């Protein structure tokens, strides 16, 4: 079910997101165009990350924060989606425990299912994703789930493109190594909050 703002807020084809956000500074209702254009994508990203139960809450909070922070958006940028997904990533960090439980539930469901190559592969993939640091996992999800480019991920997370490339390389390598060996790869120890016990 797709949620929509009030229809016919403004003509979307005539303005970039930057121009729409600039206009929303004087006319707050203009921000409805940004909502209309990007809500489904942000909601879908959240749904794939934390499930349908929390997705609407995450997407709604993302747009509330975006509206409140619209003065900080670089209005010279034509596309607000990377900025919105960066806000969503920050909101999702609060919901890490729910996301972790969801990943673990997928793993347990696979463990209980009849043993098949597909189920075993899914369990291993969930375990491999769970072994990544939050930064690596977030970067990988923005690339693989949200289908953002390196440059868009850089914008979304507020990090250099080189950092995006290195995080993706590390994440891919760790997932690959985990899937080959069938055992967890040591999680980076630079941040104690990265532990599953947080």
- Residue 198's pLDDT is 29
- Residue 98's pLDDT is 64
Which stretches of the chain drop beneath a pLDDT of 50? 1-14, 114, 189-198
- Residue 116's pLDDT is 57
Can you tell me whether residue 128 is helix, strand or coil? helix
Residues 6 or more apart in contact with residue 175 via CB below 8 angstroms = 125, 128, 129, 131, 132, 140
- Residue 197's pLDDT is 31
**CB of 142 closer than 8 Å to CB of 153:** yes
- Residue 120's pLDDT is 67
- Residue 5's pLDDT is 42
Q: CA 107, CA 36: separation in Å to the nearest integer? A: 35
Task: Note the pTM of the prediction, 2 decimals.
Answer: 0.71
Residues 6 or more apart in contact with residue 17 via CB below 8 angstroms = 34, 37, 77, 78, 79, 80, 81
Q: CA 129, CA 46: separation in Å to the nearest integer? A: 16
pLDDT tens digits for 140-196? 999 998 999 999 999 999 999 999 999 999 999 999 998 888 665 555 544 434 433
Question: Which domains, and CATH codes, for the chain?
Answer: 16-94 (1.10.1740.10), 131-188 (1.10.10.10)
- Residue 108's pLDDT is 64
């Amino acid at each position: 079910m797709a949620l929509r703002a009030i229809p016919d807020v403004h003509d979307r084809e005539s303005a970039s997101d930057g121009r729409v956000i600039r206009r929303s500074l004087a006319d707050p209702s203009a921000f409805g165009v940004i909502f209309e254009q990007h809500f489904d994508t942000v909601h879908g990203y959240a749904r794939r990350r934390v499930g349908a139960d929390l997705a609407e809450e995450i997407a709604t909070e993302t747009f509330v924060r975006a509206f409140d922070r619209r003065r900080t958006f670089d209005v010279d940028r034509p596309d607000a989606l990377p900025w919105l997904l960066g806000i969503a990533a920050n909101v999702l960090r609060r919901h890490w425990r729910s996301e972790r439980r969801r990943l673990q539930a997928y793993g347990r469901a696979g463990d209980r299912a009849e043993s098949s190559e597909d189920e075993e592969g899914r369990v291993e993939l969930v375990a491999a994703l769970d072994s990544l640091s939050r930064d690596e996992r977030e970067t990988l999800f923005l690339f693989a789930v949200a289908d953002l480019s390196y440059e868009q991920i850089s914008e979304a997370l507020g990090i250099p493109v080189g950092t995006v490339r290195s995080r993706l390389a590390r994440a891919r390598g760790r997932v690959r190594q985990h899937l080959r060996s069938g055992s967890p790869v040591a999680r980076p120890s630079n941040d104690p909050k990265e532990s599953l016990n947080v």
